[in-house]
Structure 1
Amino acid sequence: MALGGGMSCVKYLLFLFNLLFAITGLIILIVGIKAEVNSSPYIDLTDENFYTSAPVVMIIVGIIVFVVAFFGCCGAVKENHCMIITFSVFLLIIFLAELGVGIAGYVKHKDLENSILRHLNDTIKDYPTNPDVQRTFDIIQTDLKCCGINGPNDWENNKLPIPNTCCDGQVITNGTPAECSINSPTLHNKGCLAEVVSHLQEIAAVLGGVGIGIAIVQLLGVIFACCLARSIRSQYETV
């Protein structure tokens, strides 16, 4: 079925948009996987569900985008009204999902610090007896070069020795190995609360930015698809 010159242009623009969607799907998938990897084990420090679910949502959306792009490409090339409508509906759902992730990423980061502070205060005293707590603190203090919640004194305030992960490498005193202490030259002086919050906020910012940015582009795709579907339907009605 031949379309008018203007709608033919829309047809090919829609086809090009779907190639772009395939690329954005890959971007979303990569960003989601990277966020999932980078947020562990820090995700255990907060009870905000956004930081658990957002990367998974992005991964699922990235995979679905490939399927949606297929419908869009086939519908545009074959001028199939049903496939284009299916494409539009799927794309609109994805748009809403990505927009929701983006908005949630902006809103939830404000509650993040209180959630992490509460969790750290509740678990630091269990460091000697709980392997999970010990592993989490050790990974954070090693990766982020920090110590305690607000600083090394948090360990002494809880009547606990400063873990060796609060120091860089093996502590040496008078030529012999020693435990990490408040006077160790390689002690991490900054607290972990600010570092963990900053790390997770960076992940949330990336998820939010990618979600909103790509959602806007995909909204244009929905508009093009609706214009093309309307033109194809009008062609059927005039035959």
Structure 2
Amino acid sequence: MAIGAGMSCVKYLLFCFNLLFAITGLIILIVGIKAEINSSPYIDLTDENFYTSGPIVLIIVGVIVFIVAFFGCCGAVRENHCMIVTFSVFLLIIFLAEMAVGIAGYMKHQDLETSILAHLNGTIKEYDTNKDVAKTFDIIQTDFNCCGINGPDDWKANNISMPATCCSGQEITGGVPTPCTPDTFGFHKEGCLDKLVVFFKDTALVLGGVGIGVAIVQLLGVIFACCLARSIRSQYETV
């Protein structure tokens, strides 16, 4: 069934947009996976659910975008009203999900420092008695080259010996690392709190930026799809 020249242009623009959607879906998927992998060792340090659900939402959205792009391409090429409407509805749902992730990303980073500080202060006392707590602190101090919460003195304040992970490149004697002291080469003088806050804020801003940026582009796709669907329906009604 033929449609007008103007709507024919919209049809091909919609087809091109779907190729773009496939690319944005891949971008969303990669960003979500990368955020999930990078955040997983430290995710228990904050009570903000966004850092658990945000990357997962983007991963799911990235996969769905490929399916939605298929409906959009087929609907545009075949001028199928039902497929285009299905495409528009799916794309609108994705748009809302991405906007939600984007807004949450910008909102949640405001209370991040308080959440992390409360968790670290509540668990540092368990370093010698809780293997999971010890593992978390050791990973943080190794990955971020830091020591303690606000600084190395936090360990002494909690009557805990300086962990070996407060030093980098320690020598191994008899299978045991040499003691870590402020005079040890590679001693981490900075606390971990500031570095963790920067890490999580950067993650939130990336998730938020990608979510909002892609959502705006996809909103254009919804508009084009609605115009094309309306044109096709009008053609049916005039026949």
TM-score range, shorter chain: over 0.9
TM-score, reference length from structure 2: 0.97
- RMSD after superposition: 1.4
Where has structure 1 moved over 4 Å in runs of 4 or more? none
Listed one character per residue, the Cα deviations across residues 134-166 of structure 1 (whole Å, up to 9, x for unaligned) are 110001100100000000000001011110101
Listed one character per residue, the Cα deviations across residues 52-96 of structure 1 (whole Å, up to 9, x for unaligned) are 000000000000001100110000000000110010000000000
Number of the residue aligned with 1:61? 61
CA distance in 1, matches of 2:46, 2:105: 14
- Percent identical among aligned pairs is 76
CA distance in 2, matches of 1:179, 1:78: 72
CA distance in 2, matches of 1:96, 1:104: 12
Number of the residue aligned with 1:73? 73
**Quick check: 1:99–1:212 contact (8 Å CA) kept in 2?**
yes
- Secondary structure, aligned partner of 2:140: helix
CA distance in 2, matches of 1:86, 1:135: 48
Listed one character per residue, the Cα deviations across residues 158-216 of structure 1 (whole Å, up to 9, x for unaligned) are 011110101011159xxxx6300123232111110011111111111111000000000
Number of the residue aligned with 1:124? 124
Q: Which amino acid aligns with 1:129?
A: T
**Quick check: 2:168–2:185 contact (8 Å CA) kept in 1?**
no
- Secondary structure, aligned partner of 1:39: helix
Matched, 1:226 2:226: yes
CA distance in 1, matches of 2:132, 2:219: 44
Q: Which amino acid aligns with 1:70?
A: F
Q: Which amino acid aligns with 1:71?
A: F
Number of the residue aligned with 2:236? 236
Which ranges in structure 1 are unaligned for 5 or more consecutive residues?
none
Matched, 1:138 2:143: no
CA distance in 2, matches of 1:186, 1:216: 47
Q: Which amino acid aligns with 2:24?
A: T
Which ranges in structure 2 are unaligned for 5 or more consecutive residues?
none
Aligned length: 237
Number of the residue aligned with 1:45? 45
Q: How does 1:1-239 map to 2 (within 5 A)?
A: 1-170=1-170, 178-239=178-239
Offset at residue 237 of structure 1 (A): 0.6
